[in-house]
Amino acid sequence: MSGPRSHLEDYLALRRGLGFRLRRHGQMLEGFVSYLEQAGAATVTTERALAWATAPAGADPYWWRRRLAVTRPFARYLAPRVPGTEVPPAGLLPGPSRLRAVPYLYSAEEVAALTAAAGEIRTPFRAATYQALIGLLAVTGMRVGEAIALDRGDLDAGQGLLTIRGAKFGKSRQLPLHASVLRALTEYAGLRDSRPGRAGPAFLTSVTGTRLIYQNVHRTYHELTKAAGLRPRSAACRPRVHDLRHTFAVATLARWYADGGDVAARLPLLSTWLGHADPSGTYWYLTGTPELLALAAARLDLPGGSR
Protein backbone atom coordinates (compact mmCIF):
# COMPACT_ATOMS: atom_id res chain seq x y z
CA MET A 1 0.00 0.00 0.00
CA SER A 2 1.45 3.32 -0.99
CA GLY A 3 1.62 6.09 1.59
CA PRO A 4 1.87 9.89 1.56
CA ARG A 5 5.54 9.91 0.55
CA SER A 6 4.86 8.20 -2.77
CA HIS A 7 2.25 10.84 -3.68
CA LEU A 8 3.97 14.00 -2.47
CA GLU A 9 6.00 14.65 -5.61
CA ASP A 10 2.98 14.15 -7.91
CA TYR A 11 0.84 16.44 -5.74
CA LEU A 12 3.41 19.25 -5.82
CA ALA A 13 3.94 18.80 -9.57
CA LEU A 14 0.19 19.08 -10.16
CA ARG A 15 -0.16 22.26 -8.09
CA ARG A 16 2.92 23.84 -9.64
CA GLY A 17 1.60 23.03 -13.08
CA LEU A 18 -1.38 25.22 -12.20
CA GLY A 19 0.93 28.16 -11.50
CA PHE A 20 1.61 27.80 -7.77
CA ARG A 21 5.27 28.00 -6.73
CA LEU A 22 4.80 26.22 -3.37
CA ARG A 23 8.40 26.67 -2.24
CA ARG A 24 7.66 27.06 1.45
CA HIS A 25 4.57 24.86 1.26
CA GLY A 26 6.66 22.16 -0.36
CA GLN A 27 9.22 22.37 2.44
CA MET A 28 6.46 22.26 5.04
CA LEU A 29 4.82 19.22 3.45
CA GLU A 30 8.18 17.48 3.25
CA GLY A 31 8.50 18.01 6.99
CA PHE A 32 4.94 16.79 7.54
CA VAL A 33 5.49 13.59 5.55
CA SER A 34 8.76 12.95 7.42
CA TYR A 35 6.85 13.40 10.68
CA LEU A 36 4.25 10.83 9.59
CA GLU A 37 6.99 8.38 8.68
CA GLN A 38 8.76 8.82 12.00
CA ALA A 39 5.45 8.30 13.79
CA GLY A 40 4.78 5.13 11.80
CA ALA A 41 1.57 6.59 10.35
CA ALA A 42 0.43 5.08 7.04
CA THR A 43 -1.58 8.11 6.03
CA VAL A 44 -2.86 11.50 7.11
CA THR A 45 -5.24 11.64 10.04
CA THR A 46 -6.71 14.67 11.75
CA GLU A 47 -4.96 13.74 14.98
CA ARG A 48 -1.53 13.46 13.32
CA ALA A 49 -1.99 16.66 11.30
CA LEU A 50 -2.98 18.59 14.41
CA ALA A 51 -0.06 17.20 16.42
CA TRP A 52 2.40 18.17 13.68
CA ALA A 53 0.92 21.62 13.15
CA THR A 54 1.14 22.54 16.84
CA ALA A 55 4.51 20.89 17.47
CA PRO A 56 6.53 24.15 17.60
CA ALA A 57 5.95 24.87 21.30
CA GLY A 58 5.33 28.51 22.04
CA ALA A 59 4.83 29.44 18.38
CA ASP A 60 2.29 32.00 17.27
CA PRO A 61 -1.15 30.31 16.96
CA TYR A 62 -1.38 31.92 13.51
CA TRP A 63 1.65 29.81 12.53
CA TRP A 64 -0.07 26.68 13.84
CA ARG A 65 -3.15 27.45 11.74
CA ARG A 66 -0.99 28.06 8.71
CA ARG A 67 0.81 24.73 9.11
CA LEU A 68 -2.48 22.91 9.51
CA ALA A 69 -3.92 24.66 6.45
CA VAL A 70 -1.06 23.28 4.34
CA THR A 71 -2.07 19.70 5.21
CA ARG A 72 -5.70 20.02 4.08
CA PRO A 73 -5.34 20.22 0.28
CA PHE A 74 -2.69 17.49 0.41
CA ALA A 75 -5.07 15.30 2.42
CA ARG A 76 -7.88 15.95 -0.06
CA TYR A 77 -5.53 14.86 -2.85
CA LEU A 78 -4.60 11.70 -0.92
CA ALA A 79 -8.14 10.74 0.10
CA PRO A 80 -9.11 8.84 -3.09
CA ARG A 81 -5.60 7.38 -3.40
CA VAL A 82 -4.70 6.28 0.13
CA PRO A 83 -7.36 4.43 2.18
CA GLY A 84 -7.93 5.80 5.66
CA THR A 85 -6.95 9.38 4.83
CA GLU A 86 -8.73 12.01 6.92
CA VAL A 87 -9.03 15.64 5.83
CA PRO A 88 -8.57 17.94 8.85
CA PRO A 89 -11.70 20.13 9.08
CA ALA A 90 -11.52 23.88 8.77
CA GLY A 91 -11.83 25.76 12.03
CA LEU A 92 -10.01 23.08 14.00
CA LEU A 93 -7.68 25.76 15.34
CA PRO A 94 -10.02 28.74 15.61
CA GLY A 95 -8.78 32.25 16.10
CA PRO A 96 -8.56 35.59 14.38
CA SER A 97 -6.56 35.79 11.19
CA ARG A 98 -3.38 37.77 11.40
CA LEU A 99 -3.82 41.30 10.11
CA ARG A 100 -1.81 42.07 7.02
CA ALA A 101 1.37 43.89 7.91
CA VAL A 102 1.47 47.65 7.47
CA PRO A 103 4.16 48.37 4.85
CA TYR A 104 7.36 49.91 6.15
CA LEU A 105 8.18 52.51 3.51
CA TYR A 106 11.91 53.20 3.53
CA SER A 107 13.44 56.60 3.07
CA ALA A 108 16.51 56.96 0.87
CA GLU A 109 18.53 57.50 4.05
CA GLU A 110 17.28 54.24 5.54
CA VAL A 111 18.18 52.28 2.41
CA ALA A 112 21.63 53.85 2.55
CA ALA A 113 21.92 52.85 6.21
CA LEU A 114 20.98 49.26 5.36
CA THR A 115 23.57 49.17 2.59
CA ALA A 116 26.20 50.55 4.95
CA ALA A 117 25.29 47.96 7.59
CA ALA A 118 25.67 45.21 4.99
CA GLY A 119 29.12 46.58 4.22
CA GLU A 120 30.10 45.94 7.84
CA ILE A 121 29.51 42.19 7.58
CA ARG A 122 32.78 40.56 8.61
CA THR A 123 33.27 38.41 5.52
CA PRO A 124 34.03 40.83 2.65
CA PHE A 125 32.41 38.76 -0.09
CA ARG A 126 29.28 38.14 1.99
CA ALA A 127 29.14 41.88 2.65
CA ALA A 128 29.36 42.58 -1.10
CA THR A 129 26.62 40.03 -1.82
CA TYR A 130 24.16 41.60 0.62
CA GLN A 131 24.98 45.09 -0.59
CA ALA A 132 24.24 43.94 -4.15
CA LEU A 133 21.04 42.22 -3.04
CA ILE A 134 19.70 45.21 -1.10
CA GLY A 135 20.54 47.58 -3.92
CA LEU A 136 18.91 45.32 -6.50
CA LEU A 137 15.70 45.00 -4.49
CA ALA A 138 15.53 48.72 -3.78
CA VAL A 139 15.97 49.92 -7.37
CA THR A 140 13.96 47.23 -9.19
CA GLY A 141 11.20 46.27 -6.74
CA MET A 142 11.72 42.61 -7.61
CA ARG A 143 10.76 39.87 -5.19
CA VAL A 144 13.39 38.36 -2.88
CA GLY A 145 12.78 34.93 -4.38
CA GLU A 146 13.30 36.33 -7.87
CA ALA A 147 16.59 37.95 -6.88
CA ILE A 148 18.11 34.84 -5.32
CA ALA A 149 16.88 32.74 -8.27
CA LEU A 150 18.83 34.83 -10.79
CA ASP A 151 21.49 32.99 -12.77
CA ARG A 152 24.70 34.44 -14.19
CA GLY A 153 23.33 34.55 -17.72
CA ASP A 154 20.27 36.55 -16.65
CA LEU A 155 22.30 39.76 -16.64
CA ASP A 156 22.91 41.01 -20.17
CA ALA A 157 25.49 43.74 -19.60
CA GLY A 158 25.65 44.59 -23.29
CA GLN A 159 21.92 45.31 -23.55
CA GLY A 160 21.57 46.54 -19.98
CA LEU A 161 18.81 44.03 -19.30
CA LEU A 162 18.04 41.75 -16.38
CA THR A 163 15.85 38.72 -17.16
CA ILE A 164 13.63 37.28 -14.45
CA ARG A 165 12.66 33.77 -15.49
CA GLY A 166 9.80 31.59 -14.29
CA ALA A 167 8.67 34.00 -11.59
CA LYS A 168 5.31 33.92 -9.82
CA PHE A 169 2.59 32.26 -11.93
CA GLY A 170 5.36 31.06 -14.26
CA LYS A 171 5.83 34.50 -15.83
CA SER A 172 9.15 35.82 -17.12
CA ARG A 173 10.06 39.43 -17.80
CA GLN A 174 12.99 41.70 -18.64
CA LEU A 175 13.95 44.82 -16.69
CA PRO A 176 16.08 47.55 -18.30
CA LEU A 177 18.68 48.76 -15.82
CA HIS A 178 20.00 52.23 -15.15
CA ALA A 179 23.69 52.60 -16.01
CA SER A 180 24.63 52.97 -12.33
CA VAL A 181 22.77 49.78 -11.40
CA LEU A 182 24.33 47.89 -14.30
CA ARG A 183 27.77 49.08 -13.26
CA ALA A 184 27.25 47.95 -9.64
CA LEU A 185 26.01 44.50 -10.69
CA THR A 186 28.84 44.08 -13.16
CA GLU A 187 31.37 44.95 -10.47
CA TYR A 188 29.79 42.41 -8.13
CA ALA A 189 29.86 39.76 -10.87
CA GLY A 190 33.55 40.47 -11.42
CA LEU A 191 34.25 40.05 -7.72
CA ARG A 192 32.26 36.82 -7.64
CA ASP A 193 34.05 35.41 -10.68
CA SER A 194 37.47 36.26 -9.28
CA ARG A 195 36.98 33.74 -6.49
CA PRO A 196 38.62 30.41 -7.46
CA GLY A 197 36.48 27.31 -7.48
CA ARG A 198 33.19 29.19 -7.11
CA ALA A 199 31.56 28.52 -10.47
CA GLY A 200 27.96 27.79 -9.48
CA PRO A 201 25.10 28.97 -11.72
CA ALA A 202 23.66 31.55 -9.30
CA PHE A 203 24.23 35.26 -9.83
CA LEU A 204 24.14 36.13 -6.11
CA THR A 205 26.07 33.53 -4.15
CA SER A 206 27.14 32.60 -0.66
CA VAL A 207 30.82 32.51 0.30
CA THR A 208 30.87 28.85 -0.77
CA GLY A 209 29.49 29.65 -4.22
CA THR A 210 26.03 28.23 -3.59
CA ARG A 211 22.72 29.99 -4.16
CA LEU A 212 21.43 32.11 -1.27
CA ILE A 213 18.79 30.46 0.93
CA TYR A 214 15.49 32.30 1.37
CA GLN A 215 15.26 31.83 5.14
CA ASN A 216 18.87 32.89 5.66
CA VAL A 217 18.31 36.06 3.65
CA HIS A 218 15.40 37.05 5.88
CA ARG A 219 17.38 36.29 9.01
CA THR A 220 20.37 38.31 7.86
CA TYR A 221 18.17 41.18 6.72
CA HIS A 222 16.54 41.35 10.15
CA GLU A 223 19.98 41.62 11.71
CA LEU A 224 20.91 44.37 9.26
CA THR A 225 17.82 46.42 10.11
CA LYS A 226 18.87 46.41 13.75
CA ALA A 227 22.46 47.30 12.88
CA ALA A 228 21.17 50.16 10.70
CA GLY A 229 19.11 51.52 13.59
CA LEU A 230 15.74 50.80 11.97
CA ARG A 231 12.98 50.21 14.50
CA PRO A 232 9.32 49.15 14.21
CA ARG A 233 6.96 52.08 13.74
CA SER A 234 4.14 50.12 15.35
CA ALA A 235 3.31 46.54 16.28
CA ALA A 236 2.09 45.99 12.71
CA CYS A 237 4.76 48.02 10.89
CA ARG A 238 8.21 46.51 11.07
CA PRO A 239 11.06 46.80 8.56
CA ARG A 240 10.88 43.76 6.29
CA VAL A 241 12.84 42.94 3.18
CA HIS A 242 9.61 42.67 1.16
CA ASP A 243 8.88 46.32 1.95
CA LEU A 244 11.71 47.38 -0.36
CA ARG A 245 9.38 46.22 -3.15
CA HIS A 246 6.49 48.18 -1.65
CA THR A 247 8.68 51.27 -1.32
CA PHE A 248 9.68 51.02 -4.99
CA ALA A 249 6.03 50.87 -6.09
CA VAL A 250 4.95 53.84 -3.96
CA ALA A 251 7.95 55.94 -5.02
CA THR A 252 7.19 55.20 -8.68
CA LEU A 253 3.59 56.31 -8.29
CA ALA A 254 4.71 59.47 -6.48
CA ARG A 255 7.03 60.36 -9.37
CA TRP A 256 4.19 59.87 -11.85
CA TYR A 257 1.90 62.13 -9.90
CA ALA A 258 4.64 64.72 -9.59
CA ASP A 259 5.47 64.80 -13.30
CA GLY A 260 1.85 65.34 -14.31
CA GLY A 261 1.45 62.16 -16.33
CA ASP A 262 -1.63 59.96 -16.64
CA VAL A 263 -1.20 57.70 -13.63
CA ALA A 264 -4.13 55.41 -14.48
CA ALA A 265 -2.76 54.80 -17.96
CA ARG A 266 0.70 54.05 -16.60
CA LEU A 267 -0.39 51.63 -13.89
CA PRO A 268 -0.34 48.56 -16.19
CA LEU A 269 3.32 49.39 -16.89
CA LEU A 270 4.09 49.17 -13.17
CA SER A 271 2.14 45.91 -12.93
CA THR A 272 4.19 44.45 -15.77
CA TRP A 273 7.44 45.64 -14.18
CA LEU A 274 6.51 44.09 -10.83
CA GLY A 275 5.46 40.82 -12.46
CA HIS A 276 1.77 40.96 -11.56
CA ALA A 277 -0.65 38.98 -13.69
CA ASP A 278 -3.26 41.73 -13.36
CA PRO A 279 -3.11 45.43 -12.33
CA SER A 280 -5.42 44.63 -9.42
CA GLY A 281 -2.47 42.89 -7.79
CA THR A 282 -0.54 46.14 -7.85
CA TYR A 283 -3.03 48.17 -5.83
CA TRP A 284 -1.96 46.58 -2.55
CA TYR A 285 1.48 48.15 -2.95
CA LEU A 286 0.06 51.61 -3.52
CA THR A 287 -0.66 52.42 0.10
CA GLY A 288 -1.73 56.01 0.62
CA THR A 289 1.13 57.98 2.16
CA PRO A 290 0.93 61.68 3.09
CA GLU A 291 3.02 62.47 0.01
CA LEU A 292 0.81 60.45 -2.31
CA LEU A 293 -2.38 61.88 -0.84
CA ALA A 294 -1.09 65.42 -1.27
CA LEU A 295 -0.11 64.76 -4.87
CA ALA A 296 -3.45 63.15 -5.63
CA ALA A 297 -5.30 66.05 -4.02
CA ALA A 298 -3.29 68.54 -6.05
CA ARG A 299 -4.17 66.60 -9.20
CA LEU A 300 -7.87 66.82 -8.36
CA ASP A 301 -7.57 70.60 -8.01
CA LEU A 302 -6.40 70.87 -11.62
CA PRO A 303 -8.91 71.93 -14.29
CA GLY A 304 -10.98 68.89 -15.16
CA GLY A 305 -9.90 67.02 -12.03
CA SER A 306 -7.49 64.79 -13.96
CA ARG A 307 -6.51 61.52 -12.32
What is the span of the domain harbouring residue 56?
4-78
Which one, of 186, 135, 136, lies nearest residue 157 by Cα? 186
State residue 245's pLDDT score.
93
178 as an active site residue: the answer is no
Residue 220 lies in a domain: yes
218 as an active site residue: the answer is no
> Considering 181, 197, 227, which residue would you say is the last residue of a domain?
227
Question: CATH code at 214?
Answer: 1.10.443.10
Residue 287 lies in a domain: no
State residue 58's pLDDT score.
77
State residue 284's pLDDT score.
66
**Cα gap 107→180, rounded to integer Å:** 19
**Paired strand residues for 173:** 164
In this structure, the answer to whether residues 138 and 214 fall within a common structural domain is yes
Residue 301 lies in a domain: no
226 as an active site residue: the answer is no
Please list the pLDDT of the chain residue by residue as tens digits (307 residues). 467 999 999 999 888 776 677 788 889 999 999 999 999 999 999 999 999 999 877 777 888 998 999 999 999 999 999 999 999 998 888 776 555 678 899 999 999 999 999 999 999 999 999 999 999 999 999 999 999 999 999 999 999 999 998 766 567 899 999 999 999 999 999 999 998 876 789 999 999 999 999 989 999 999 999 999 999 998 888 999 999 999 999 899 888 888 877 877 888 888 889 888 766 667 666 665 666 666 666 665 555 544 4
Marked catalytic residue, from 143, 192, 221, 246: 143
> Considering 186, 202, 227, which residue would you say is the last residue of a domain?
227
In this structure, the answer to whether residues 152 and 210 fall within a common structural domain is yes
Marked catalytic residue, from 48, 192, 245, 246: 245
pTM for the complete prediction? 0.69
In this structure, the answer to whether residues 26 and 131 fall within a common structural domain is no
Marked catalytic residue, from 168, 211, 240, 299: 168
Residue 19 lies in a domain: yes
> Is 39 exposed, middle or buried, given 0-12, 13-18 or 19+ CB atoms closer than 10 A?
exposed
In this structure, the answer to whether residues 117 and 59 fall within a common structural domain is no
In this structure, the answer to whether residues 62 and 129 fall within a common structural domain is no
In this structure, the answer to whether residues 117 and 189 fall within a common structural domain is yes
In this structure, the answer to whether residues 121 and 221 fall within a common structural domain is yes
State residue 259's pLDDT score.
82
Contact 274, 282 (CB under 8 A): yes
In this structure, the answer to whether residues 180 and 139 fall within a common structural domain is yes
**Cα gap 233→64, rounded to integer Å:** 26
Residue 262 lies in a domain: no
Residue 56 lies in a domain: yes
State residue 98's pLDDT score.
55
246 as an active site residue: the answer is no
25 as an active site residue: the answer is no
In this structure, the answer to whether residues 135 and 217 fall within a common structural domain is yes
In this structure, the answer to whether residues 60 and 138 fall within a common structural domain is no
Which residues are within 8 A (CB) of 242 and not within 5 positions of it... i.e. 6 or more apart? 143, 144
Residue 188 lies in a domain: yes
Residue 33 lies in a domain: yes
Structural domain count of the chain: 2
